[in-house]
Amino acid sequence: MNNVATRIVVIDDEKQIRRMLKIALSSAGYDVIEAENGRDGLSSVARQQPDLVILDLGLPDMDGKDVLKELREWSPVPVIVLSVRNQDNEKIIALDYGAQDYVTKPFSVEELLARVRANLRDRIKPDSSPLIEIDELSFDLARRIVKKSGQTIDLTPKEYAVISRLVKQPNCVVTQSQLLLEIWGPSHKEDTHYLRNVVSHLRQKLGDNPTDPHYLRTEPGVGYRFCIDE
């Protein structure tokens, strides 16, 4: 991806964090706009129409989750939450509110830049080609067929539903509650063992190492992501 003109809004009340991020992101070729509170951040997103937002949750005027919730009423821009809050429930709420990713402070600048690249990568849109090819795997979403090295993989309806949902939003975390709600229904939102079993079977069928998966990765206590290398 040519990121020369890519614009990122950083919403964080800590001046030192904003300065560090501006230096790191600018050095990587991104155009950075800073905002020190939620209202200024929302205004910046509306005015600048950025390609990505980096959002702190602990803002002086409003909670970052409320910023995210309001933002999602009118913008689909990818959001990476950057916060000292490391509890699973905080991560789950932020992701359920529409964040694409969640990074806890203190953080590695190199990891954050990798997450930025992953979230800026061209996304698979619902109206794009229904055939997705990744290494030796292919996903024909129109015909509901998954192949490995040209051989069709026999998947159950639930297995196909989970993998197709993740593949459509590559490199982004989809929470357990989202997957259970969308695929099993509201009466099964707490039945995480259903999901664990399906993911385990998918890894076996895709040839993904269960102890160190390359594609179908677990975000402990939060959800899953289907990873595509740059």
> Do 179 and 223 form a contact (C-beta atoms < 8 A)?
yes
- Extract the tokens encoding 6: 């890519």
Average pLDDT over residues 68-92: 87
Q: Residue ranges per domain, the chain?
A: 7-120, 131-226
Architecture category of domain 131-226 in CATH: Orthogonal Bundle (1.10)
pLDDT-wise least confident of 14-28, 119-133, 138-152, 163-177: 119-133
Query: For the segment 90-121, what is each residue's pLDDT rounded down to a tens digit?
Result: 889 999 888 999 998 888 899 999 999 988 87
Dist. CA 14–CA 11, nearest whole Å: 9
pLDDT of 229 reads 72
Query: For the segment 162-201, what is each residue's pLDDT rounded down to a tens digit?
Result: 998 898 888 888 888 888 887 887 778 788 899 999 999 9
- Say if residue 128's pLDDT is above 60: no
Dist. CA 121–CA 83, nearest whole Å: 23
| Whole-structure pTM value | 0.63
Average pLDDT over residues 132-161: 88
Same CATH topology for 7-120 and 131-226: the answer is: no
φ/ψ of 152, rounded to 5, equals -65, 135
φ/ψ of 116, rounded to 5, equals -60, -50
CATH number of 7-120: 3.30.230.10, 3.40.50.300, 3.40.50.261, 3.40.50.2300?
A: 3.40.50.2300
Closest CA to 196 of 214, 185, 184: 184
Percent of the chain with pLDDT over 70: 93
Length of the chain: 230
Residue 87: pLDDT band by 50, 70, 90 thresholds? Answer: confident
